Structures are given as structure tokens and as C-alpha cells.
Amino acid sequence: MAKESNTTTDLRIGIADTGVDLTYEIDGSIDKVIAQVKEALDSGIALSFTDAKGRQIFVPHSKIAYVEAGNAANRKVGFTSLQG
């Protein structure tokens, strides 16, 4: 997926018959990510996408147990000084 104006979606995919889930941050709107998941499930093809770090991900449609998608929260890092 190509980058879209700083829109990021968190995607969590549960893998069937295991206790494993995969979590990725995807560049793109939640609507586009959900449409891509639906297309893979409806057509019987592997779900494939590129995450925010540029990694190529492929998940066989038959191994997808569940999918959670949501807007990624802006992560802020802060520093404080402790005075005592």
C-alpha cells in the first residue's frame, strides 16, 4: 500500500489453530485496509500488504482466524526530570 497523508491503521491478525496473533502498523486508511482483508477472504487469495516499516507480509486466507483493525494512536515519548 502506498502512503496516504500520514494515515496509519493498526492491524491485528489472529492465526487459526494457534495462539499466535500478528500485529502490524499499516500506512493507509482503515477503510482501504478492511477492503483489502475482505477481498482476500472473499476471493480465497493470500492477504498481502506492506507495513509501515516497508516489510512485505503474506498470510494465507485459510489461516486467518480474525482481524482487528483500528486507527493507530499517535505515540508520544516524553521525558521528565525528577527533582528531589
pLDDT (0 to 100) of residue 16: 93
Is 67 domain-assigned? yes
- Mean pLDDT, the chain, whole residue set: 84
Structurally, the chain folds into a number of domains equal to 1
User: Could you list the residue range(s) of the whole structural domain that residue 18 is in?
Assistant: 8-71
Asked if the structure places residue 81 within a domain, the reply is no
Dihedral sign for Cα atoms in the order 68, 50, 33, 59: negative
Q: Which of the four pLDDT bands, split at 50, 70 and 90, describes residue 71?
A: confident
Average pLDDT over residues 67-74: 80
- Structure confidence at residue 65 (pLDDT): 93
Residues 51-72 have a mean pLDDT of 91
Query: Is 3 inside any structural domain?
Result: no
- Give a yes or no: residue 83 inside a domain: no
More confident residue, 69 or 72: 69
Residue at 82 is within a domain: no
Burial letters 27-50, b for 16+ CB under 10 A, else e = bbbbebbeebbeebeeeeeebebb
